[in-house]
Amino acid sequence: MSFLFDQNFTKMKAPEFPLFFDWLNTEEELSLEKLKGHVVVLDFWNYCCINCMHALPVLAELEKKYEGTPVVFIGVHSAKFENEQLTQNIEQAVARYEIHHPVVTDEEMTIWRSYGVNAWPTIVIIDPKGDIFFRRSGEPQKEVLEDVIDTLLEESAKKGTLAKKPFEIKYKPVEITSTLAFPGKISISEDGKIALSDSNHNRILVTNLSGKIEQIIGNGEIGFSDGDFETATFFRPQGVLWKDGDIYVADTENHALRKIDLTNRKVITLVGTGEQGPWLSEGGKGKDVAISSPWDLAAKDDLIFIAMAGNHQIWVYNVETEMVRRFAGNGRENIVDGENLEAQLAQPSGLSIYGNKLYFADSEVSAIREVDLERMQVKTIVGQGLFVFGHQDGPVNQALFQHPLGIFATVNKIYVADTYNSAIRVIDLMTKQVSSLIGKPGMKTVCRVDDPDCDKLGLYEPSDVELFDNMLYLTDTNNHLVRVYDLEKNILQTLDIR
């Protein structure tokens, strides 16, 4: 059987892992010497990359299939952003995506370079003799990887090079015991009800402004089923949106737009099949259209705009016609302004509408951009490129963000959850200046709430921000909290979700 490799692939001995790198999900450092006789599947990834996120369910299925055989899956986390280089941040990502295989932190992309990798994600498969047998970049196809692994197991068994029994790896998970688990997005109704995506508990919560839980939607299990609040299921939902007394949900890993009918206590699927959609699609009737990793929502009149992170576009759903279609972005990942459908976006992850402007956090280019809904034009406010990022205040043409995910627009200001800087930033549209409201440049960027070394305003990778009655409500994602910042008193408090 023959397999396709990337164009630069040359069969070679697999380089050994460097010593003294940090390993997660295992109680010991691994080496190819220890794994001799095994088929080793390496996943080169980083935790910001939507294509890497799409690869994880495929790998999870394969891990389950080959459990108890001499096949070992290892994640090689090769960071793009500075924030992703810290082991404790990678550990949080491993917990968030419920990764069950060992992960090595690839310091300064050392392993990446030794294997000749040049794109995220890349899958490398090493045969039981220790040679690289397969390498391919891009989102993996399950059937192709199965064919490769099955062939190696069969041929190696015949040659006597296959291990007699699998190497035992002691899985060491991160346990989350808090009320919330990686809360993603937040939305507040006109009468002061909070909708919150409790993402890793696979549910949506409705609370009052003091944090008292009034509704729990979803039974907490991973799934894709409509029904009443107690039986409906979600899969790591993100975006939530109040509209006309109902809640709309970007059910991210089910690749779906869902509606929570609060009057009849029902969850209804509006868009999506439960399977990831293609890279390019023109849309159609809602439930017939497969979409890709919707991350946030915003509404104007009968239209719901969807940040389609999975294919670097913004889509729009018409609640009257039930039709969904591409609205902005041609699907190529970059920062290119211009006419809506020809502009290039990069993993849009946060939306907010004010007037006739749709503002969005374009996370992979660390940018804040806008769509003029009358002129149908995309324009960048702050942001310079796929590999230009940092924490710098000042004029919009010089300021830098680092993978922002959340945004809230007012008449003359845009509040930004600058996620990888663990900061809340403010863009003043009148003065064209960017400032840091919470989390100053140069301060410690990873702040657990019980860390005495952190500033009193420390956050840990916040994903969203919402303004209500002069208070900013923040999803402090890696602290598993909702925080409230009083703009007048300059005080940050924790909302007691109970």
Q: What are phi and psi of 302, to 5 degrees?
A: -90, 10
Q: Which run of H or E residues covers position 165? A: none
Buried b (16+ CB within 10 A) or exposed e, 179-204: bbbbbbbbbbeeeebbbbbbbbbbbb
pLDDT in tens, 230-241: 999 999 999 999
Q: How many CB atoms lie within 10 A of CB 444?
A: 13
Question: Beta-strand (E) ranges in 301-442?
Answer: 303-308, 313-318, 323-328, 338-339, 348-354, 357-362, 367-372, 377-382, 394-395, 406-409, 413-418, 423-428, 433-438
261: which residues sit within 8 A by CB, 6+ positions away? 246, 267, 268
pLDDT in tens, 316-352: 999 999 999 999 999 999 999 999 999 999 999 999 9
**Predicted confidence band at 457 (pLDDT cuts at 50, 70, 90)?**
low
pLDDT in tens, 16-48: 999 999 999 998 999 999 999 999 999 999 999
The chain-wide mean pLDDT, for the chain, equals 94
pLDDT in tens, 124-141: 999 999 999 999 999 999
pLDDT in tens, 281-310: 989 999 999 999 999 999 999 999 999 999
Longest dimension (CA), the chain: 73
Tell me the one-letter amino acid at 496: D
Domains of the chain: 23-159 (3.40.30.10), 186-494 (2.120.10.30)
Share of the chain above pLDDT 90, in %: 90
C-alpha of 460 from chain center: 15
| 3-state SS, residue 48 | coil
* Structure confidence at residue 458 (pLDDT): 77
